[in-house]
Amino acid sequence: MSIWEYANPVKFMRTSGAALPWVVAGAAVCTVTGLVWGFLTPEDYRQGSTVKIVFLHVPAAMMAINIWVMMLVASLIWLIRRHHVSALAAKAAAPIGAVMTLIGLITGAVWGQPMWGTWWEWDPRLTSFLILLLFYIGYIALWSAVEDPDSAADLTGVLCLVGSVFALLSRYAVFFWNQGLHQGASLSVQPGERMSAVYRYPLYLTMLGFGLLFLALLLIRTRTEIRRRRLAALQAREMRA
């Protein structure tokens, strides 16, 4: 029994079908509870009620980066071991990642307006996310532009590798270019810099919720892609017969 058995589409469909209700339920419970809990937290003495936005902003931003990393890993698995499920998972993840990036940017802008007095600032973190969004858009556009599915998987895989290097490079280039307004990491291991527990626990819950939500959406979307692929194969067989 190895993990590679899940690269078999039939096996993947069976296992993911069995796991899906649990993941969906977990995602729903964690996200809804976390967001409601976050919405009911007391006001921060400096930020007022805008502190509640953090429960959307931080998990979305975290997932935006993690999803790209997941796509990179999936692309590598496809390029090295040629497992179709892996390529389809990378394809399925991209729109989720783009939406997460967009949520991160929008919530950041809405929070920044009253706090920094501006909707948008060319701050390194904000700019990096905008660049990440561009990479997501290019990746999705390339998937939809190439007709042959295996070529599309190969080309997007290579693009994902090159894009990862340049996304990282851009991030450091942007730090060089402009010093930031954005505060440091919201969750730090140093006790003095931590957020207070009132905000931290609902934040953990929403982060878990967004992770599970991504997993649920990813499974459903990958299943959609596998079904589409199978449909195309059946139709091609019928045309030949």
Report the interface residues with another protein, using CB under 8 A: 35, 39-40, 43, 48-50, 52-53, 56-57, 60, 95-96, 99, 102-103, 106-107, 110-111, 113-114, 131, 134-135, 137-138, 141-142, 145-146, 151, 154-155, 158-159, 161-163, 166, 169-170, 173-174, 176-177, 213, 217, 220-221, 223-225, 227-228, 230-231, 234-235, 237-238
Count of CB atoms situated within 10 Å of the CB of 29: 14
Distance in Å, CB of 96 to another protein, minimum: 7
Whether 193 and 19 have beta carbons less than 8 Å apart is answered as no
- At closest approach, how far in Å is the CB of 237 from another protein? 8
* Closest CB to another protein among residues 130, 190: 130
Least distance (Å) from another protein to the CB of residue 169? 5
Cα 180–Cα 181–Cα 185 angle in degrees, nearest 5 = 85
How would you classify residue 48: left for phi > 0, otherwise alpha for psi between -120 and 50, otherwise beta? left
- 3-state class (DSSP) for residue 44: strand
Which residues lie across from 44 on neighbouring strands? Answer: 48
Q: How far is the CB of 203 from another protein (least distance, A)?
A: 15
User: Can you tell me whether residue 164 is helix, strand or coil?
Assistant: helix
**Smallest separation (angstroms) from another protein to the CB of 150:** 8
Is 74 or 214 the residue whose CB approaches another protein more closely? Answer: 214
Give the residue with the Cβ less far from another protein, 137 or 193: 137
Q: Residues 194, 47: contact at Cβ < 8 Å?
A: no
| DSSP code, position 2 | -
Both tokens of residue 192?
């003095």
Q: Compare residues 169 and 187 and give the one whose CB is closer to another protein.
A: 169
